[in-house]
Structure 1
Amino acid sequence: MDPLEDVLALLETRSHLSTSLLAGGEWAVRFAAPSGVKFNAVRRGHCLLEVDGVDEPVALSEGDCYLLTRPRGFTLRSGPGVVPVDAGPVFAAAEGGVARVGGGEDVFLMGGRFSFGLRAQELLLDALPPVILVPAATRQAETVRWALTTIDQEILHRRMGSTLVAENLAVVMLVHILRLHLALEPRTVSGWLAGLADPVVAAALACMHEEPARPWTVAELARSGAVSRSTLAARFKSTVGQGPLEYLTAWRLELASKQLREGTSTVASIARHVGYGSESALSTAFKRVMGVSPRDYRAQAGNRPAQPHRGHPEHKPRALDSQFT
């Protein structure tokens, strides 16, 4: 797995498709802060997106797609000066998976949201800007448009397994949006995501994610990017915000945390699996970073309800979220 795959898998990334919005004339709809990461695509027409805490509105045209990575309220509108209505009643009156506002059918938006497991804020969302826009005119956005069109067809025709297909396509779309954003706007991301935009740092990250239990040295990681030890250390610190071995320790503890939450392996077994020579070595590092011992962390995690996974007997394809958010 590469770092992006690793993190999205660790966070149990899931998509949830929502009711679409059909609008016309002069209109504006105000939405409460969404849970998870909100995405929408303009399938027809154009409108404005206003997000709390973002100074300028974002002009959206047909084919554009955006992500909202923070739990902030937002407004979609035909133009300035229209008093917005609350989204709740609008979407409560939706029929056939489509809510309507205004007079006409000039604008059509489809979308949903991505939900994650624990640690999403620290591992992924804090590294992203509040709004990510994928303009339709961007050549690299072709795959995103293909995914959106296919999702649209799955929802429209309701073939067997359509919800599951559409939701998995939405996760594929998320990966492509993150790739595209890294390629076009690398300066707007931070942490390990910023490191993926630097080929030298990315090579070191790939090594650590491929073999997290290996006793890596900075010199070995530097050879993966064909640079000196000092060059890697400086570039890694500059882009990721911490040294290579600090990052490796943090990633090992993320892997250990997941196993403690979800598995039944002994702490000693988990320690060996993530690269620590003994249970005491893992316990020392874990308590220093996480604030509690592995055993206490597992006991605390045991109080949380288990989350069903894809493929688990409890998981069944869901209907569309009743709300746009």
Structure 2
Amino acid sequence: MDVLADALKAMRTARPRSARAEVRAPWGLRFPAFTGTTFHVVLHGSCWLLDGKPGEPGEPGEGRHLRLGPGDVVFLRRATEHVLADDPASPVRAFEPEEVGTDSLGRLRLDGPGEATVLLCGAYLLDGERPHPLLAELPGVLHLPAGAHGRLGRLVDLLGQEFDDPQPGSDGVVPALVDAMLLYILRAWIAGRRDVPGGWAAALTDPAISAALRDIHSEPERPWTVAALAARSAMSRTVFAQRFTELVGRPPLTYLTWWRMTVAARLLRESGAPLAVVARQVGYVSPYAFARAFRREYGISPGRYRHARS
């Protein structure tokens, strides 16, 4: 079980969206806020990431400007309102998602007399009710310069080729590459935090704690105990519990319950399985016990949750 991929799978609510924007100076695009995360890649040329409105610490906020060059990737943990422009003084117009349609190879063109910039702009639609704690540790704006992360750079090159020269099957290739890019972005961030003690980046690279996370993610239905998880990690119960809590941010069984409810919510959204079946798949013999646990986490019953999202 790949914990990172599994966590992202549980949070996704729809396919990622992306579009190629070819713009000529002077230009400016204001992107609206929405539930999820967003990214921009500079395929050719350069631009500025500007504030849409004041934000929280570490996020786009009043007075924040970031220069982006060819091959740069910028990831916004929360899709707050923001602006891309060729120059901070350029006029700004609203970006309307309807302009590029719902096709995987969406396109936007803005003509002007100046230099051209080609961007790949995209969004990951995630469940805002249950953001994984891993995402909460990310900076509001993560800037990954060109050339600093080899595999991510090669993926960016592939995406640029698919947009510049679509081939049979591109409509299936692009969403898969955009999906993969989120994992590559997170990998790059984790690699940059190898020397930072604590947190999810450390949890995923700690042999004992990552093994316990894999156990929980691969078999959430098992009646896990702290002792059982510690034994499989070859650690004492006390040391394991302390280490797990330090890195993951919550005790082992608290995280187990949180993950079980996250999986249950996905099953309720995406399948028509009876509640008793969903309950068993996340470790509850009794549907009533499952319903009580679900209500504690979400504030509503599993049945009402499913109906509201159908």
Which bracket does the TM-score occupy, shorter chain normalised?
Answer: 0.7 to 0.9
1:213-292 matches, cutoff 5 A: 213-292=221-300
Q: Does 1:202 align with 2:210?
A: yes
Counterparts in 2 of 1:27 and 1:16: CA distance versus 1, 3 Å: closer
Give structure 2 stretches of 5+ with no counterpart: 101-105
Cα RMSD (Å): 3.2
Structure 2 CA distance for aligned equivalents of residues 224 and 4 of structure 1: 20
| Alignment-derived partner of residue 45 in structure 1 | 45
Picking from 157, 160, 168, the partner of 1:152 is 160
Q: CA deviation at 1:165?
A: 0.7
Q: CA deviation at 1:208?
A: 0.7
Deviations 1:119-158 (A, max 9, x none): 45456644432212211131xx222222222222222222
Q: Distance in 2 between matches of 1:182 and 1:130?
A: 15
- Structure 2 CA distance, aligned partners of 1:148 and 1:129? 21
- The number of aligned residues is 297
Does residue 84 of structure 2 align to residue 84 of structure 1? Answer: no
1:134 matched to which residue of 2? Answer: 144
Contact 1:150–1:166 at 8 Å: present in 2 too?
Answer: no
C-alpha displacement of 1:297: 2.4
Deviation for aligned residue 1:251 = 1.0
State the Cα distance separating 1:49 from its structure 2 match. 1.1
Q: TM-score, normalised by structure 2?
A: 0.82
Give the C-alpha shift of residue 83 in structure 1.
Answer: 4.1
Q: How far apart are 1:302 and its partner, in Å? A: 1.8
Residues 1-10 or 256-265, more deviating: 256-265
Instruction: Output one character per residue of 1:133-188: Cα deviation in whole Å (capped at 9) or x when no partner.
Output: 211131xx222222222222222222222122111111011111111111214799
Aligned to 2:103: none
* 8 Å CA contact 1:154, 1:163 repeated in 2: no
**Are the structure 2 counterparts of residues 9 and 57 from structure 1 closer, same or farther at C-alpha, using a change threshold of 3 Å?**
same
- Return the match for 1:302 from 300, 303, 307: 307
Q: Give the structure-1-normalised TM-score.
A: 0.78
Tell me the amino acid that sits aligned with residue 91 of structure 2.
P
Name stretches of at least 5 consecutive residues in structure 1 with no aligned partner: 306-325
Q: CA deviation at 1:70?
A: 1.4
